[in-house]
A and B are shown apart, each in its own frame.
Chain A
Amino acid sequence: MNRSVSQKNIKLARNLVIVAVAMFGFGYALVPIYDVLCEWKWIERDRPDAIKQAKENAYEVDKNREVTVEFVASLNENTPMVFYAEIQKLKVHPGEYHTVNFHAENKTDKVINARAIHSYSPALVSSFVDTITCFCFDEQLFEPKEAKTLPVRFAVNPDMPPQYKTITLSYTFFDKTENQ
């Protein structure tokens, strides 16, 4: 093989390696891209950030419309706790703020460090649910047998498109206790 071809080969190979490395990076870039798409509510998921607002918005309450809000509580991996919403369904008028209490209780005689995450359904409504108090994403330390009342204060934004009549707010506790 003459030298110029061999140099060309090496140059091309180097460029292709750069492409490969860039594609490895692209794999990681898909993570924030996915997040951004979720922000646009184009893909299904709702993301953890920006769920807490400082204060209540002054919505105009739409008394003519009623939305049924369901509350779902789950425990991941059979975490030895009791966890449920004190009410499972609530009819609300868009714009009104309501507080719903969740009850969580450590059933063991050990400390449990748990973290709840939330998920709303239909996914496209999540930008229309304003949660101002929530226990999500904070590590919750449960002393042995400790029971807690965890409030969620929320309102449905009156701008939510009228086809949504039932929405579900779901909270799942994950056990994050080290060396469990």
Chain B
Amino acid sequence: MKKTKQLFAGLTLLASSQQGAQADYTLNLMEGITKVSNHIYDLHMLILWICVFIGIAVFGTMFYSIFHHRKSKGHKAAQFHENTTVEIIWTIIPTLILVAMAIPATKAVIELDDVQDSEMSIKVTGKQWYWDYQYLDNGIKFESHLDEASEKAHRLANGNPHSVPHYLLNVDKPLVVPVNKKIRFVFTAADVIHSWWVPELGWKKDANPGFINEAWTYVPKAGTYRGQCTELCGRDHGFMPIVVIAMEQPDYDAWVKKTLAKQQEAVDLSDLSREDLMSKGASMYLKNCVACHQINGSGITGTYPALTASLRVTGPIDPLIGFIQAGTSRMPAFSKLKDDELAALITYIRNAPELGNSVGDEIQPKAITPVYDD
């Protein structure tokens, strides 16, 4: 687990070092890096120029008229109020423009739709409020949450978003893909509808619970590409970004090998120091709990219970473990947490001064025997 974290930390660092996207006062759509996104950009520019052209003609006429045909200049009103020829002309010309526009647009729709002949598939699951990725070809599977720096900056009263690189656009574990391969994505969601959008790839696609959707991409250039969830999905909709890192094939292969190796390692059940438990617990809390129970453990009155001074939190440990693992009708089950993660999390919520609890104990991974094991 710790090594996985280091591995991803390296990636995150790589991601944050590429500052490029900070251009302010951006005016236009980005061209993107894929062929599809370039075609979409061209279509966007084409239709934009058509609109500009029509706009100049219409507004030009109107403002000429406003300037010259005014009473204060002594202009006498003409009394015409019909002209069938003119009406026919300004119906036919827009129709022709639209037909001309429909041709390249149709081509692009067909291109977007063509998911076949892909070389690899990634299943993307939208969850409240993070993304879950699963590589269907090699079994790699991980969750991708908003990075801790952004979490803290937007949740803490004294947080400073400006000090965070890629504020709200950075994740703990980015999606890694190889360049020059046709990649097929399969989208679904686990709770409500989400939508997966990386502007540089040129499209977004909804992730619907219970159903699957497809889309594809072909990234020609190594780099880091960022996006966000674009379908309102509840309270933390604004805090579930997407980061895609495209790597050259050898780098990607190495990443797959390392990630798989880490994934197959058994959970390390050896005892941890109090500091390690607390820091790991804090990071688990930020990922899994903070959206509802808040950064100070206060919850939200009437909606989410407070953890501060909660008897369930500070009381006996075994029922607490079972509670967290099984969830309730309001709280999701956290059976996904590994024993060491759960131990750290429980130690943290019972002892964190920022949550206002101080039971004074340490829960070690070995203590999580029971309610169920992996």
A53 at the interface (CB under 8 A from B): no
CA of A122 to CA of B187 in the docked complex: distance in angstroms?
12
Complex Cα distance, B188 from A145, in Å, reads 27
Give the complex CA separation of A77 and B335 in angstroms: 12
A-B contact pairs, 14 of them (CB 8 A): A74-B125, A74-B188, A78-B127, A79-B333, A80-B327, A88-B139, A119-B210, A119-B212, A163-B116, A164-B116, A168-B121, A172-B210, A179-B329, A180-B328
Q: How far is the CA of A70 from the CA of B184 in the complex (A)?
A: 11
Among B117, B191, B214, which residue has its beta carbon within 8 angstroms of that of A76?
A: B191
Cβ distance A81 to chain B, nearest Cβ, rounded Å = 8
| B interface majority secondary structure | loop
8 more contacts with CB within 8 A, not counting A72-B188, A77-B332, A119-B211, are A72-B123, A72-B134, A76-B191, A76-B210, A80-B327, A89-B121, A89-B137, A119-B212
Say whether B116 contacts A70, CB under 8 Å: no
B188 touches A78 (CB 8 A): no
Question: B320 an interface residue at 8 Å Cβ cutoff?
Answer: no
Considering the complex, which residues of chain A in the window 21-45 have a beta carbon less than 8 Å from any beta carbon of chain B? 45
Q: Chain B interface: which of A2-10, A54-62, A105-113, A148-156? A: A105-113
Number of A-B contacts (CB under 8 A): 93
A166 at the binding interface (Cβ < 8 Å): yes
Per-residue CB contact flags for chain A residues 86-124 toward chain B (1 = under 8 Å, else 0) read: 001100000000000000000111100000010111100
Interchain CB contact under 8 A, B212 and A108: no
Q: Smallest CB-CB separation from B370: which chain A residue?
A: A109
Binary flags per residue of B137-169, CB closer than 8 Å to A gives 1, else 0: 101000000000000000000000000000000
- Tell me if B327 and A166 are in contact (CB < 8 A): no
Contact yes or no, A168 B186, CB < 8 A: yes
Residue A170 lies at the interface, judged by CB distance under 8 Å to chain B: yes
Interface residues on B, range: 35 or more
A-B pairs, top 3 by smallest CB distance, nearest first, are A80-B333, A78-B332, A80-B335
Q: How far is the CA of A172 from the CA of B332 in the complex (A)?
A: 16
A135 within 8 A of B: no
Shortest CB–CB separation between residue A132 and chain B, in angstroms? Answer: 21
Complex: chain B residue closest to A88, CB-CB:
B136
Give the complex CA separation of A64 and B341 in angstroms. 50
Contact flag A108-B372 (CB < 8 Å), given A77-B190, A78-B333, A170-B188: yes
In the complex, per-residue mask of A141-180: 1 if CB is within 8 Å of any chain B CB, else 0: 0000100000000000000000111101010101000011
Asked if residues A121 and B332 are in contact (CB atoms below 8 Å), the reply is no
Q: Are A117 and B372 in contact (CB under 8 A)?
A: no
Please, what's the 1-or-0 string for B60-97, where 1 marks a CB less than 8 Å from any CB in chain A?
A: 00000000000000000000000000000000000000
CB-based contact B371/A168 at 8 Å = no
Does A129 lie at the interface of the complex (its beta carbon under 8 Å from any beta carbon of B)? no
